[in-house]
Amino acid sequence: MRKIYIKISKDKYRLPLAVADTASELARICGVKTSTVSRMIKKGKEGANTSYIVVEVEDGELD
- Tens of pLDDT, residue by residue over 33-51, are 999 999 999 988 887 888 9
The angle at the Cα of 54, spanning 49 to 59, to the nearest 5 degrees, equals: 155
Residues in the chain: 63
Asked whether residue 6 is assigned to any structural domain, the reply reads yes
Domain that holds residue 47: 2-57
Phi, psi of 58 (to 5 degrees): -80, 150
- Name the domain count of the chain: 1
- Sign of the C-alpha dihedral, residues 45, 34, 25, 59? negative
For the entire predicted model, the pTM comes to 0.86
Nearest by Cα to 23 from 40, 11, 10 = 40
- Give pLDDT, residue 61: 63
- Assess if residue 62 is contained within a domain: no
Helices (H), the chain: 23-30, 34-45
